[in-house]
Amino acid sequence: MIVRMRPATDRKPAAIALRLLLLALILPTLAASAPRPNFLLIFTDDHGYGDVSTYGPSDVRTPHIDRIAAEGMLFTTMRANGTVCSPSRAALLTGLHADRVGVPGVIRSNPRDSWGYFDPKVPTLADLLGDAGYHTALIGKWHLGLGTPNTPNERGFAHFHGFLGDMMDSYTTHRRHGENYMRRNAEVIEPEGHATDLFSDWAAGHLRERAKTPGQPFFLYLAYNAPHFPIEPPAEWLAKVKQRAPQMGDKRARNVAFVEHLDAGIGRVLAALDDSGLARDTVVVFTADNGGSLPHAQNNGPWRGGKQDHYDGGLRVPFMVRWPAGIQAGSRSDHAGLVFDLFPTFAGLAGATPAAELDAVSLLPVLKGGAAATAPRDLYFVRREGGLTYGGNSCEALVRGDWKILRNDPFSPLELYHLKEDPRETRDLAATHRKKFEELAAALRHHIQRGGSTPWQAPND
C-alpha cells in the first residue's frame, strides 16, 4: 500500500494529524507483513584468510565459497572473537565477549584441562530466533559443552545433528580420545563417511525439508570441523592437487586438498538452497572461528601468526554475506568488525530484540552500503589456557582504531602496534609511545575486570 501525501504547505493541521495517524497504523502492518529472511551461517574451523581464493592469488581453489562473496558482500577487515574454538563460538552465539559468558578458553572433554563453562543463564542466538518463530538447527561442531545444561537442544536449537566435542581424532571414525560424541539430538549415532561429507549432506537434506514448510523462516548454523587438524582429505582430492601442482610440499598439498574438499561440500549445500527455491530470501554467511594453524601449513595471508596467536594471523578471518533480496552483488567493505556482530544483525532482520546489553554491533547499515550506526568501539580478545606454557592463566588483546595492544602469552610483556603503519605487527612501540600504551593498557584492564565477574568453571554440585 502507498500513502501519498501533499506538501505540508497545502494541508490543514487536522488533515496532517489524520494522515500521520494513518501512517502510524499502516506502517507497522507493512513491516510485520514483510517476509523475514532465513539464515544459513557456515562456520569453518581454523580457516586461514589466505585459504580462500577470493581474497587474492592462492594455491587453493574455493569456487563455491568465492561465489558467496561474488553474489554478496566481501568483508576484508573482519576478525574472529578469539584465537581458538570455544571462545569464538560462545561469543558468536551470545553477542557478548567470551569471558562475559564464561568461556575465555577451550572447553575440553577432560575437566582438568578445560578452561571454560558456557553460562547457561545467557540466551543464545538460537533462543532469540526460536522465540521469534524461527526453526533453529545446528549441523556440525558444537564445542560448548558435552552434557546438561549445555547441549545444543538445551541452548535453543530445535534440531542438532553433529559432533559435541572439540576435535576428531579422525574424520572417518569421528572419535575423540576413543569416545563417540556424534549425536542426532540426544541420540548417540554411528554414521559412516568423512565428517565433512556427512555435515554437508545433512545440511543439504535439512534445507530441502525446510522448503516444505514455507511459512516458517529458519536458522541453520552449519559448523564444520574442517579444516581443523588432523588434515585428512579424501585420497582422490589429494591426488587431484598433487597432479596439478607436483612441486607442492606434501603438508601444504594435504591442506589444500582438505580445503577444496570442504569447498565442494559447501557447494552442495548452496545447490540445495537453489534447488529448493530458498536462495533469494536466505542470508548466507561464510566465516571462521579463528585463523589457520601454521604448524599444519595453513595460510593466513600477509598477517603475522596464526591460530592461538593474538597477532592478526590468529584473528583475521574470511567473512562474506550473501542475500539476493537485500545485498548488492559484488560489493565490498573494509569495516573492522567482529564475527559476533552477526548476533544483532540476524536479530534485527528477524524483528527480534535481544534480552541483554550486547557487546556486538549490528552490521545492517554496512550491508546496506553505509557505515556502522554506532561510534567506534574497542575490539577485545581473550584466551585462557593450561599446560606449562600458560599455567591456567589468560592473555588478552585490544584494538582501538589503528592501535593494538596485546600479550601473546600470560608471561610476556604487553606489546603495542600501529596497524595502519605496521599491519604485519613487526615494530613494538610499547617503549616509545607510553601515553598510548598506558591508555590502551587501562582499557584492557577494564575488560578483564568485566570478564572476571563470570565463572569459567562449572559450579560444584
> Grid coordinates standing for 387?
599446560
Question: DSSP code of 414?
Answer: P
Q: Cα dist. 172→43, 177, 253, 441 in Å? A: 20, 14, 19, 46
Where helices occur in 11-83 by DSSP H, the ranges are 13-33, 63-70
The tally of CA atoms less than 13 A away on the side-chain side of residue 384 is 24
253, 228 contact by CB (below 8 A):
no
DSSP 269-326: HHHHHHHTT-STTEEEEEEESS---GGGT---TTSS--TT-SSHHHHB--EEEE-TTT
CA distance 220 to 207: 8
- Return d(Cα 310, Cα 89) in angstroms, integer: 17
* Active-site annotation, residues: 85, 143
What single DSSP character describes residue 15? H
Direct distance between the N- and C-terminal alpha carbons of the chain, in angstroms, rounded to an integer: 59
d(CA 406, CA 395): 8
44 — phi, psi (to 5°)? -100, 170
In contact, 321 and 73? CB cutoff 8 Å:
yes
The greatest distance separating any two alpha carbons of the chain, rounded to the nearest whole angstrom, comes to 81
| Residue 384, beta-bridge partner list | 105, 394
* Residue 26 CB neighbour total at 10 angstroms: 13
